[in-house]
């Protein structure tokens, strides 16, 4: 096969049979459609023993699988813990069974809140990762499906209607890019009641803390989920670079490589010059936009 790593590859060839609903492809399709996570276990040797040979089991995460033998559930538990494939043997009375357990999960679903120009490269990078992407904006002119052709869904949504218009149970991460602190606050309030595990905020930590303070008690459910400033610190300046930093942090989050809290603590311990270099890029733009929006709101109220 031309492997350059001097490793070994074991191949499992399976026959797709209509009598068995073309499993395991049918199981994979159901996993994607239902956005289910779990372990696909294939009994691959011997060919037949007590009805086990060639059978597939899908052990859904946090699900009830009564057909699955206890010994197989134990192997599946190891895959749950590591999210890596496992080839294992189990000894029965008359023979040993070889079982291949693989982790199945749908692509991450990214919710981008704010359809400005800087959201375009973020959506493009997420599409190159084959993620599911939903873009929402409270401004109809911005929520343009032609500008965001790479997204699966582009919606005009107010913050208060977010959870009604978007199936939040399937969303894995949300990035707020409205460039308006008042709308960020309203969208954050809507996200507080969801189970979205990662919420990224543009701008410096002071802006993040200001937003959380405005939310009051609603912020309690967000503190371990909010990442701000969003993105790994790679010295990003241009929108495309900022998008790369955000995607990199999302991948780290999805792979459990490092927690957002740990990453932010490391960034805050950087030399002052390094922190200033980042803030003078997109963070200061966020502060300027917030300041200008606050002035506009104040002017309209005094008019």
Strand, helix or coil for residue 26: helix
Which residues, listed in sequence order, are joined to residue 173 by a DSSP beta bridge?
A: 110, 198
Q: Is the omega angle on the peptide bond into residue 23 within 30 degrees of 0, that is, cis?
A: no
Please tell me the distance from the alpha carbon of residue 132 to that of residue 136, in angstroms, as a whole number.
13
- Tokens matching residue 11: 């191949």
Across the range 279-295, mean pLDDT stands at 50
Phi-psi region of 84 (alpha: psi -120 to 50; beta: other; left: phi over 0): beta
Q: Compute, in degrees rounded to 10, the torsion defined by CA atoms 96, 98, 101, 102.
A: 180
- Give 33 or 158, the one with higher predicted confidence: 158
Whole-number pLDDT of residue 296: 55
- Would you tell me how many other CB atoms lie within 10 Å of the CB of residue 209? 13
Least confident interval from 5-9, 130-134, 185-189, 270-274: 270-274
Reported in sequence order, the residue ranges of 233-292 that DSSP labels E, i.e. its strands, are: none
Place of tokens 């946090």: 62
- Give 116 or 296, the one with higher predicted confidence: 116
Least confident interval from 28-32, 93-97, 210-214, 276-280: 276-280
Whole-number pLDDT of residue 75: 87
- Going by pLDDT thresholds of 50, 70 and 90, the confidence category of residue 3 is low
Across the range 76-105, mean pLDDT stands at 85
Per-domain boundaries in the chain: 18-104, 109-296
Tens-place pLDDT, residues 232-258: 999 999 999 999 999 999 999 998 876
Place of tokens 């995607």: 247
- Residue 178, pLDDT above cutoff 60: yes
pTM: 0.77
- Going by pLDDT thresholds of 50, 70 and 90, the confidence category of residue 271 is very low
Burial of 60 (0-12, 13-18, 19+ CB in 10 A): middle
Helix residue ranges per DSSP H, 45-142: 70-82, 119-128
Across the range 270-297, mean pLDDT stands at 46
Please tell me the distance from the alpha carbon of residue 38 to that of residue 295, in angstroms, as a whole number.
51
Write the CATH number of the domain with boundaries 109-296. Answer: 3.40.50.720
Across the range 184-203, mean pLDDT stands at 96
């Amino acid at each position: 096969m031309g492997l350059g790593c001097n490793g070994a590859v074991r191949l499992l060839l399976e026959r797709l049979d209509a009598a068995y609903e073309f499993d395991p492809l049918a199981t994979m399709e159901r996993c994607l459609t239902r956005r289910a996570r779990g372990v696909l276990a294939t009994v691959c040797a011997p060919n037949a023993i007590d009805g086990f040979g060639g059978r597939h089991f899908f052990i859904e995460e946090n699900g009830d699988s009564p057909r699955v033998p206890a010994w197989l559930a134990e192997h599946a538990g190891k895959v749950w813990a590591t999210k890596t494939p496992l080839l294992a043997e189990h000894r029965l009375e008359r023979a040993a069974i070889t079982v291949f357990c693989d982790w199945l999960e749908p692509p991450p679903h990214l919710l981008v809140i704010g359809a400005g120009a800087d959201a375009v490269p973020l959506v493009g990078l997420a599409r190159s990762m084959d993620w599911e992407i939903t873009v929402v904006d409270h401004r109809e002119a911005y929520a343009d499906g032609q500008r965001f052709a790479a997204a699966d869904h582009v919606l005009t949504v107010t913050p208060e209607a977010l959870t009604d218009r978007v199936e939040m149970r399937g969303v894995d991460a949300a990035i707020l890019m409205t460039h308006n602190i008042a709308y960020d606050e309203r969208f954050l309030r809507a996200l507080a009641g969801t189970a979205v595990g990662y919420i990224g905020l543009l701008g410096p930590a002071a802006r993040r803390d200001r937003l959380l303070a405005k939310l009051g008690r609603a912020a309690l459910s967000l503190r371990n989920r909010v990442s701000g400033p969003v993105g790994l610190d790679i010295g990003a300046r241009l929108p495309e670079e900022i998008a790369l930093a955000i995607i990199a942090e999302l991948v780290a989050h999805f792979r459990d490589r490092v927690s957002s809290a740990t990453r932010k603590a490391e960034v805050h311990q950087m030399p002052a010059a390094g922190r200033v270099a980042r803030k003078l890029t997109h963070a200061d733009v966020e502060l300027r936009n917030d300041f200008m929006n606050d002035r506009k709101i104040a002017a309209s109220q005094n008019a």
